[in-house]
Amino acid sequence: MANQLLSTVSCHDTLPEGYARPESDRPRLAEVATDSNIPLIDLASPDKLRVIAEIDRACRTYGFFQVINHGISEELLEKVMAVGLEFFRLPPEEKAKLYSDEPSKKIRLSTSFNVRKETVHNWRDYLRLHCHPLEEFVPDWPSNPEAFKEIISTYCREVRLLGLRLMGAISLSLGLDENYVENVLGEQEQHMAVNYYPRCPEPDLTYGLPKHTDPNALTVLLQDPNVSGLQVLKDGQWIAVDPRPNALVINLGDQLQALSNGAYKSVWHRAVVNAAQERMSVASFLCPCNSAVIGPAAKLVGDGDEPVYRSYTYDEYYNKFWSRNLDQEHCLELFRGQK
Ligand code: OGA
Ligand code: NI
């Protein structure tokens, strides 16, 4: 029901029932590290080979990196954040029109992760949109705020170009042909989650998003430039990925881990919330076409070795992903083996 949205209440003084995690599953914010070593890659660097080598290292170690000089203007990034925030500030009756908790709906305003299935909720509202081909979906996107469709569709177009360019670089960094990844993934879908994390009275007890890996191929995340919240798990330690001006965060999804035969990581990450400031992020997901058959690239499976993962269609994978809770074992574990 739309009244489950957190953003319909202007301020929460106490944590409502259903959001507190058990003691063993709390964010332990005091133990989170800050790490200035999260790779930062300058995509405008004239030394292309070096950029590819940096991407390779980042994908093997962190599965996460930030990019600057990515070609999307600062002005557009600001507009996207502003119009997103304006959307979440609309009156409740306006938002109720878009509310749904049915994960298969292609345009929906929702809350938490999968409210129908989960036992504990997450401190997040989100607007989920399908974005490719734009002509097919934009007519059904919110028309309030008035500038929403235009700003977000411009951003979607640019993010897609960036994502595909990165997939070319990732193919090369794996030692494959530049168009290998794109060819395997087919005509990719593009989805977006505009995430809104309100101020939370008890940030130590709950999550914005609990630890998860992204089920798709590649994610481009535009973070709130002023508020931290994204964290990645590296060697058992949670590390805050603090926002950098004009940078975009890139993370590999499960499909690139599978395709790379496990060489590249789709890492666990999560979003935490805080008591002082609301936070927004805009995640753009490039997703294989549903019928794409995904499995380790033959060239990356050593002579005489078995591939780490079996082949499957993305459709099969995605259905499995949504049938589970977000923070169970890595979904790819269910696709180990040959058959
Ligand atoms: C996601 C995600 C992180 C964030 O939407 O999949 O990981 O900081 N978001 O909002
Ligand atoms: Ni994610």
CB atoms within 5 A of ion ligand 2 belong to 214
Closest CA to ligand 1's atom 8: 230
What pLDDT is stored for residue 228 in this prediction? 95
Mutate to test the pocket of ligand 1, among 124, 127, 230 (most ligand atoms within 8 A of CB): 230
Cα dihedral 101, 292, 132, 180 in deg (nearest 10): 140
Percent of the chain scoring above 90 in pLDDT: 85
Q: Please give the Cα distance from 126 to 196 (Å, whole number).
A: 6
For the CA of 269, the closest atom of ligand 1 is: 7
What pLDDT is stored for residue 104 in this prediction? 82
Closest CA to ligand 1's atom 5: 283
What pLDDT is stored for residue 85 in this prediction? 97
Q: Where are the domains of the chain?
A: 2-290
Cβ(220) to ligand 1 under 6 A? no
Examine the pLDDT at 328 and tell me if it is beyond 80. Answer: no
What's the rounded mean pLDDT across residues 1-11?
A: 81
User: How much is the pTM?
Assistant: 0.96
Cβ(111) to ligand 1 under 6 A? no
Least confident of 28-37, 82-91, 139-148, 259-268: 28-37
End-to-end CA distance of the chain: 41
Cβ(8) to ligand 1 under 6 A? no
What's the rounded mean pLDDT across residues 140-148?
A: 97
Full DSSP string of 39-63: -EEETT-S-HHHHHHHHHHHHHHTS
The string of pLDDT tens digits covering residues 286-311 is: 999 999 999 999 999 988 888 999 99
Q: How far is the CA of 268 from the centre of ligand 2 (A)?
A: 8
Closest CA to ligand 1's atom 1: 283
The string of pLDDT tens digits covering residues 64-86 is: 999 999 999 999 999 999 999 99
Residue 105's CB is within 10 A of a number of other CB atoms, namely: 13
What pLDDT is stored for residue 113 in this prediction? 84
Residue 319's CB is within 10 A of a number of other CB atoms, namely: 12
Spell out where the chain has E strands: 33-34, 40-42, 64-68, 107-111, 125-130, 189-197, 209-212, 218-223, 230-234, 237-240, 248-252, 269-271, 279-287, 293-294, 312-313
Cβ distance 29 to 204 under 8 Å?
Answer: yes
Cβ(217) to ligand 1 under 6 A? no
What's the rounded mean pLDDT across residues 143-165?
A: 98
What's the rounded mean pLDDT across residues 121-142?
A: 97
What pLDDT is stored for residue 180 in this prediction? 98
Q: How far is the CA of 214 from the centre of ligand 2 (A)?
A: 5
Q: What type of residue sits at position 292?
A: A
pLDDT-based confidence at residue 210 (cuts at 50, 70, 90): very high
Mean pLDDT of the chain: 94
Cβ(195) to ligand 1 under 6 A? yes
Cβ distance 239 to 231 under 8 Å?
Answer: yes
What pLDDT is stored for residue 327 in this prediction? 62
Fold of 2-290: Jelly Rolls (2.60.120)
Q: How far is the CA of 269 from the centre of ligand 2 (A)?
A: 6
| More reliable by pLDDT, 184 or 37 | 184
What pLDDT is stored for residue 1 in this prediction? 65
